[in-house]
């Protein structure tokens, strides 16, 4: 593809909530990172595994993947198997379902110059499925009310609505490293209604660089989050509490702070990182200087160290069982469950206070029931 859409599906959550951010981010270089590169490798492997499973001849990319490992292999196999199950289900109601892999989807009817790439789209009569693979394990991604998935769905409808008798759209996030398979199904008409009433007006503002700046959790991947005044003002709203100790605050004040404190911490961290990178680039900050941070000693040659210690009559090695993540990577997820499933337990987590919208069930036990923590 080469070219990226200004109003891409992957960034829709941000520009729908903060329309002028799209043009502001346009002037900033997309530097990328190791996580994004690893995700690209995983998508390439998933594409190969799925095509192979469907009998489509394609070149094995494994040797060219920088981040390839046993875990990625297991994830890609699981993704291909999941999609094959959807295809088999589609065949029960449609004799000729179409499977599109890494398909360019154009939704420019609602978003000027808008397009994206769908990992897998299965078109059939009745319900069509869109599956998006997520390799990341940091942020849990849900399919419900996911604007990226809805844009992909609109792009697929643009091609196939009318050719197939489509009533509903099923959108799935496949995120194996978080054991997350999230599916949300909507009526086709409700998707079109959202496109006309919500998407189109916001996209017009975003393309023109107009609208109001709005800070929120959608700022996480914004390129200008370190310099955004709206985000700064939202974070600094907490200053009005004058850093009073919790017992001196009213309940409604504590609740207000709880809703903003994570954003404040994230914003402060982004400012520190921005200032550091600018200083490394040569910028002089008043009353601050760049120094060498603390570091730990390390061996220059571990093989030579082992040989020297062995020659002195000592054992230079320690033996311990690999951690669960490392062991899963060694064995693969399926073999790990077969061999070690009976020897793994997951203790109860420490009580955590989260917003009401969090999908985890609430704990309603009395205070004494938490003694185990």
- Over residues 306-314, the mean pLDDT reads 95
User: 129 vs 368, which has greater pLDDT?
Assistant: 129
Residues in the chain: 373
User: 203 vs 232, which has greater pLDDT?
Assistant: 203
Give the domain ranges of the chain: 12-208, 225-280, 302-343
With cut-offs at 50, 70 and 90, classify the pLDDT of residue 277.
Answer: confident
Q: Cα dist. 158→72, 155, 193 in Å?
A: 33, 5, 15
With cut-offs at 50, 70 and 90, classify the pLDDT of residue 224.
Answer: confident
**pLDDT at residue 48 tops 90:** yes
Cα 221 to Cα 167: distance, rounded to the nearest angstrom: 34
User: 167 vs 256, which has greater pLDDT?
Assistant: 167
Mean pLDDT of the chain: 87
Q: Which of 223, 15, 212 is nearest to 110 (CA)?
A: 15
Q: What's residue 203's pLDDT?
A: 95
Q: What's residue 40's pLDDT?
A: 94
**pLDDT at residue 207 tops 70:** yes
Q: What's residue 239's pLDDT?
A: 67
Q: What's residue 368's pLDDT?
A: 45
Q: What's residue 3's pLDDT?
A: 55
Please tell me whether the overall predicted TM-score, pTM, comes out greater than 0.95 for this model.
no
With cut-offs at 50, 70 and 90, classify the pLDDT of residue 2.
Answer: very low
Q: What's residue 262's pLDDT?
A: 80
Q: What's residue 365's pLDDT?
A: 57
With cut-offs at 50, 70 and 90, classify the pLDDT of residue 308.
Answer: very high
Q: Give the range with max mean pLDDT: 59-68, 213-222, 345-354.
A: 59-68
């Amino acid at each position: 593809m080469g070219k990226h859409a200004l109003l891409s599906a992957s960034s829709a959550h941000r520009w729908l909530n903060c329309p002028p951010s799209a043009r502001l981010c346009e002037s900033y270089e997309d530097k990328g990172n190791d996580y994004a590169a690893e995700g690209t490798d995983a998508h390439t492997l998933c594409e190969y595994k799925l095509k192979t499973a469907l009998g489509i001849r394609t070149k094995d990319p494994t040797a060219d993947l920088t981040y390839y490992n046993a875990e990625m292999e297991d994830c890609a196999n699981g993704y291909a198997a999941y999609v094959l199950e959807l295809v088999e289900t589609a065949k029960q109601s449609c004799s000729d379902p179409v499977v599109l892999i890494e398909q360019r989807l154009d939704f420019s009817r609602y978003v000027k110059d808008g397009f994206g790439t769908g990992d897998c789209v299965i078109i059939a009569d009745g319900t069509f499925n869109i599956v998006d693979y997520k390799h990341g394990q940091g942020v849990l991604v849900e399919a419900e009310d996911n604007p990226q998935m809805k844009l992909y769905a609109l792009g697929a409808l643009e091609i196939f609505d009318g050719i197939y008798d489509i009533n509903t759209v099923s959108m799935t996030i496949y995120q194996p490293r978080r054991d997350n398979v999230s599916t949300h199904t909507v009526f086709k008409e409700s998707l079109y209604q959202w496109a006309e009433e919500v998407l189109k007006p916001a996209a017009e503002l975003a393309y023109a660089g107009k609208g109001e700046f709005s800070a929120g959790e959608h700022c996480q991947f914004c390129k200008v989050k370190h310099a955004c005044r709206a985000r700064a003002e939202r974070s600094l709203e907490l200053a009005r509490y004058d850093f009073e100790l919790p017992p001196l605050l009213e309940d409604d004040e504590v609740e207000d702070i709880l809703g903003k404190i994570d954003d404040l911490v994230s914003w402060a961290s982004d400012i520190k990182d921005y200032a550091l990178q600018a200083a490394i680039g040569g910028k002089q900050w008043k009353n601050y200087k760049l120094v060498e941070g603390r570091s730990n000693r390390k061996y220059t040659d571990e093989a030579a160290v082992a040989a020297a210690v062995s020659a002195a009559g000592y054992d230079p090695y320690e033996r311990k069982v690999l951690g669960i993540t490392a062991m899963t990577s060694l064995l693969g997820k399926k073999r790990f469950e077969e061999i070690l499933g009976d020897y793994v337990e997951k203790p109860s987590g420490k009580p955590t206070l989260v917003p009401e919208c969090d999908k985890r069930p609430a704990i309603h036990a009395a205070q004494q029931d938490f003694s185990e923590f």
